[in-house]
Structure 1
Amino acid sequence: MTDKNPDPTHIRLAKRVAEQLNCSRSTAEQFIEGGFVSVDGQVVEAPGARVRPDQAVAVAQDASLLALTPVTLLLHKPVGFEAGLGVPAGQAAHASRSQGATPATTLLNAASHLAEDASGIRVLQRHFKQLECFTPLPTEASGLVVYTQDKRIARKLAEDIESLEQECIVEVKGDIAPHGLQRLCHGLSFNGRPLPPIKVSWQSETKLRFALKGIRPGQIPAMCDAVGLTVVALKRIRIGRVPLAKVPEGQWRYLQPWERF
């Protein structure tokens, strides 16, 4: 919150950094949001923070704008959280609150970052801004949801999501109809249209593995219902070549530079 009557001796951190580095205010703001600036030894990521003349403002020696690249976050969404489509995270949160659902973006914070994340990326507050989701997942489902700041990845997901294979583990109950597994693989229709061949196999007595492209909302429950099964739980564990891996429910990790959908 901004002080309505700020002390005139206190100035914005961005202005102080710009003066120290003899750079533009926008460049100073990028250094601050990049986590390279500390005040009295504490990293401050808010360019609008106000500092006193006697406070020590330091810029890290390794400060570089080249490090301020956009990031992609891979979230293990729990059941009961909403993950929308192509809507900036802030707007999605507003829309979800108005509908009574809990936005999955509320789980994206420093506290829920996977401790064993192998990316080596420093968690910054700027990483939770201007995120978009192109991999929606029903509120009643769990699993991998992708949030990205990277326009290239956003374009890839928006344009190719129909051709990217998605893998889901589906817990079911009931007795499967004769030749039901074969029908799940090929021979069913959804919304009046025949479905293409799909890879379906048993993982256990109560869990099926689906690997399919161009999945539609409600498709897997409808397919299971057609062969006498009821879906108890659905979890997405892979999109294209990117797996959820060992990220616990409610936590997230960074997409690593070498990973490709």
Structure 2
Amino acid sequence: MRHGLARVLSKRGLCSRSEAETLIRSGRVRLDGRIVRDPEHPADVQQARIEIDGAHAVHPTARYLALNKPRGLVTTARDERGRDTIYRCFDGAELGWIAPVGRLDKASEGLLLFTNDPQWAARITDPETGPSKTYHVQVDRIPDQSMLSAMRTGMQDGDEFLRATSAVLLRAGEKNAWLEIVLDEGRNRQIRRLLAALGIGVLRLVRVAIGPLALGELPKGQWRELTPEEVAALGGEALGSVG
């Protein structure tokens, strides 16, 4: 199968597509022995012989990781405003290129997946077939049953229709409560927007599960490798190498 060279580098798990475009345009990539500067130049995903900075670009070992994201980190490789990013949690690990599967905003925390296998990541984030996501959300009031029902029924917010697959009250104090909310697809700040439309403020938002994979006892800011069984349960079999 043939794709543009930048996409081939990404599909092989060597770097992100934008990073590949930069490498190619700067003349650092050779395809079958010659420098190619066009990111859209056709190349065979499996057979193309690719060199980056003179070194053969081998297929890296596929990686599938779970991170307990702390609050206050942005889900990006680099931040133009100089804020700390989630990659701080991997300092010194020498994992090669990995990318987040989906995202959590800066104020949110909990389970976040990483991989260098773009096909697996695409299956996880597919809104039609990807796994559901479960969140525990602390809110600034005690919602009644009509509010919980409204979350499940859903509402229009601009051009998007927002709804929760499930919304239940976990426990309540005098002035605030914890909810468990399940989404079958992720939209930008979906839970915060859905609750705001009902006059409910979010105090904490923690993703506790993606499909059958639970955050469990993984300490905040720590990560671990997924088992082959966990990888398969989420989005298909693990690959020995990416490509």
Instruction: Write the mapping of 1:210-225 to structure 2, written as runs, cut at 5 A.
Output: 210-225=181-196
Three-state SS of the structure 1 residue aligned to 2:229 is coil
Does residue 244 of the first structure (1) align with residue 215 of the second (2)?
A: yes
Deviates more, 1:69-78 or 1:146-155: 146-155
Instruction: Write the mapping of 1:151-170 to structure 2, written as runs, cut at 5 A.
Output: 151-159=118-126, 163-170=130-137
Three-state SS of the structure 1 residue aligned to 2:171 is coil
Aligned to 1:195: 162
User: Counterparts of 2:62 and 2:205 in 1: how far apart (Å)?
Assistant: 30
User: Counterparts of 1:210 and 1:226 in 2: how far apart (Å)?
Assistant: 15
Aligned identity (percent) is 24
Question: How big is the shift at 1:199?
Answer: 0.4
Q: Do the aligned partners of 1:83 and 1:145 also contact (CA within 8 Å) in 2? A: no
Question: How big is the shift at 1:108?
Answer: 1.4
Q: Do the aligned partners of 1:164 and 1:240 also contact (CA within 8 Å) in 2? A: yes
User: Counterparts of 1:188 and 1:247 in 2: how far apart (Å)?
Assistant: 34
Query: Kindly tell me: are residues 198 and 189 of structure 1, through their superposed partners in 2, closer, same or farther at Cα, counting changes over 3 Å?
Result: farther
User: Counterparts of 1:226 and 1:158 in 2: how far apart (Å)?
Assistant: 25
Instruction: Write the mapping of 1:62-73 to structure 2, written as runs, cut at 5 A.
Output: 69-73=61-65
Give the alignment's Cα RMSD to 1 decimal: 2.6
Deviations 1:198-228 (Å, cap 9, x if unpaired)? 2000111110001112221222112212323
Deviations 1:1-52 (Å, cap 9, x if unpaired)? xxxxxxxxxxxxxxxxxxxxxxxxxxxxxxxxxxxxxxxxxxxxxxxxxxxx
Match of 2:150 among 160, 180, 183: 183
Instruction: Write the mapping of 1:67-216 to structure 2, written as runs, cut at 5 A.
Output: 69-84=61-76, 92=77, 95-96=78-79, 98-109=80-91, 125-126=93-94, 128-159=95-126, 163-176=130-143, 179-196=146-163, 198-205=165-172, 206-216=177-187
Aligned to 2:200: 229
Deviations 1:135-185 (Å, cap 9, x if unpaired)? 211001001111112344233235458732110110001253671111111
Aligned to 2:46: none
Does residue 254 of the first structure (1) align with residue 225 of the second (2)?
A: yes
- With structure 2 as the length reference, what TM-score do the two structures score? 0.63
* Corresponding pairs, count: 171
Deviations 1:48-96 (Å, cap 9, x if unpaired)? xxxxxxxxxxxxxxxxxxxx73221110000001113xxxxxxx1xx22
Higher Cα radius of gyration: 1
Question: How big is the shift at 1:104?
Answer: 0.6
Deviates more, 1:233-242 or 1:101-110: 101-110
Instruction: Write the mapping of 1:8-87 to structure 2, written as runs, cut at 5 A.
Output: 69-84=61-76
- With structure 1 as the length reference, what TM-score do the two structures score? 0.59
Three-state SS of the structure 2 residue aligned to 1:102 is coil
Q: Do the aligned partners of 1:176 and 1:227 also contact (CA within 8 Å) in 2? A: no
User: Counterparts of 1:192 and 1:249 in 2: how far apart (Å)?
Assistant: 35
Question: How big is the shift at 1:130?
Answer: 0.9
Query: Kindly tell me: are residues 186 and 105 of structure 1, through their superposed partners in 2, closer, same or farther at Cα, counting changes over 3 Å?
Result: same
User: Counterparts of 1:175 and 1:197 in 2: how far apart (Å)?
Assistant: 18
Q: Do the aligned partners of 2:164 and 2:182 also contact (CA within 8 Å) in 1? A: no
Q: Can you give the 5+ residue segments of structure 2 that lack an aligned partner in the other structure?
A: 1-59, 235-243
Q: Do the aligned partners of 2:124 and 2:130 also contact (CA within 8 Å) in 1? A: no
